[in-house]
Structure 1
Amino acid sequence: MATTKVVDIIDRASIILQDSTNVRFPNAELLKFFNDAQKEVVLHRPDANMQNDATFDCVAGSKQTIPTTGLRLVDVIRNVGGRAITQVDRKILDETLPNWHETAADATRKIEHFIFDPADPKHFYVYPKATNAFDLEIIYSAAPSDISISNFSTDTTVISLDDVYANAILDYVLYRAYQKDSEFAGNAQRAMMHYQGFSNALGIKTQADAAIAPIPGTPDANAGRG
């Protein structure tokens, strides 16, 4: 759960920009850069804003669409109150069960598999096909909602992402600010420096996550890593 306040990031940006009175960069403008920064983080790190939806309501048919705030499906876990659901390759079903889109699930035969194509990240298919009565537990990445602030002196709203992304968000805000003033000497270089810092922060976290990620079937696989 995040504890970093949005206004703290904006204040830090103003100090670095040497604009503590917010003449050149009003708080409202920096807030727009902040909202863009959160979206940019999730674009590169979908796991930064994961949603575990235990009440996803299926529509009738095999094709399903993740919630409107979703960016991409991550996993389909189970029928709520029932069996687990596993991922299968669509080609396997197409070759072995050409009419699989028409096979219906029912009270005794729950949904067994899901099919996902990374090229179509907001949709997935289920087998057997669903009726409106089926609820699934799914995990998906969602776009952060824009944050609005009316009083920058007293607001206590925290960032939407984990605190570990606070520095990356700050770098992106500074990148956008210096980019705005790129006609002044050195600012184009400063903008690129902060964008590189933003990119490096996300890349380094990706490497760190990979280093400690559990490997199925090998509980001690991470022992001694470092």
Structure 2
Amino acid sequence: MGTIIASSVIEKAQTILQDVTGVRWPVADELLGWLNDGQREVVILKPNSHVKNLAVRMAAGTKQSLPADGVQLIDVVRNMGTDGNTPGRAIRIVMREILDAQVPNWHIATAAAAAKHYVYSLLDPKNFYVYPPQPAANQGYVEMVYGAAPADATLNGPITLDDIYQNVLVDYILYRAYSKDTEYAADQNRAATHQNAYIAALTGKAKVEVGANPNSMAPANPNVTPNTR
């Protein structure tokens, strides 16, 4: 959750649009809606822009689903007991092909509340599978990290995304506002400019995160040459 008020983001866009009174682009009917569209667009392009880390109770069997606001699974970290508050065994991701080959009947194996492995495919982003299967009753909880759909911001409330996405949201609002006037060639160009700006900001941040990822320099990473000094 951010701390910047939605109306503040909209006012920045209005200043650039030279429409501070909301005559051409009404605040409540258009600009606020575009701000919320922009928040969802950010999560589509960068799922870790709105992440939740929760203890979630699993369903019986192997197939599991993200919470209702889930967009994409990021990680299943560890077991959290049958009460959701008891940290337990770490859970490791495994390729489904390996599990299928080594334990062909893993979907109907002996159930246990503590998961050992999980299987995930980006082709089915809202579901994953755990091994061993969960029991029919007293299922376990897992600590789940997932990208969540942002709730709509209200005009006088904070934006849902982190404050660092303020400029991205301003560019998105401007892109949508100028797209409304595409009968004017200049506004078509402005719309394209702001669309490219918010996309470039998101993709650029993603590249920076890769370089700043602590895991990339971890000693256990086989791609890192040990320091021999």
* Inter-partner Cα distance in structure 2 for 1:4 and 1:176: 21
Cα RMSD of the aligned pairs, angstroms, is: 1.6
1:171 Cα deviation after fit: 0.2
* Inter-partner Cα distance in structure 1 for 2:206 and 2:12: 25
1:130 pairs with 2:134: yes
Equivalent position SS for 1:203 = helix
Q: Number of paired residues?
A: 212
1:219 Cα deviation after fit: 8.6
Which residue number in structure 1 is paired with residue 203 of structure 2? 203
Q: Deviations over 1:21-41 (max 9, x none)?
A: 111101111000000000000
Q: Is the 8 A contact 2:95 2:119 kept in 1?
A: yes
Equivalent position SS for 2:128 = strand
* Inter-partner Cα distance in structure 1 for 2:209 and 2:199: 16
The letter of the residue matching 1:101 is H
Gaps of 5+ in 1: 150-154, 222-226
Which residue number in structure 1 is paired with residue 17 of structure 2? 17
* Inter-partner Cα distance in structure 2 for 1:128 and 1:114: 9
- TM, length-normalised to structure 1: 0.89
* Inter-partner Cα distance in structure 2 for 1:219 and 1:198: 36
Q: Is the 8 A contact 2:79 2:89 kept in 1?
A: yes
Which residue number in structure 2 is paired with residue 177 of structure 1? 177
- TM, length-normalised to structure 2: 0.88
Q: Is the 8 A contact 2:72 2:126 kept in 1?
A: yes
Equivalent position SS for 2:2 = coil
Q: Deviations over 1:152-183 (max 9, x none)?
A: xxx2x111111111101100000000000111
The letter of the residue matching 1:32 is G
The letter of the residue matching 2:67 is P
Q: Is the 8 A contact 1:105 1:111 kept in 2?
A: no
Q: Among 137, 148, 155, which residue is 1:142 paired with?
A: 148
Equivalent position SS for 1:63 = strand
* Inter-partner Cα distance in structure 1 for 2:134 and 2:162: 35
* Inter-partner Cα distance in structure 2 for 1:97 and 1:201: 44
1:111 Cα deviation after fit: 1.1
Q: Among 111, 116, 122, which residue is 1:112 paired with?
A: 116
The letter of the residue matching 1:82 is G
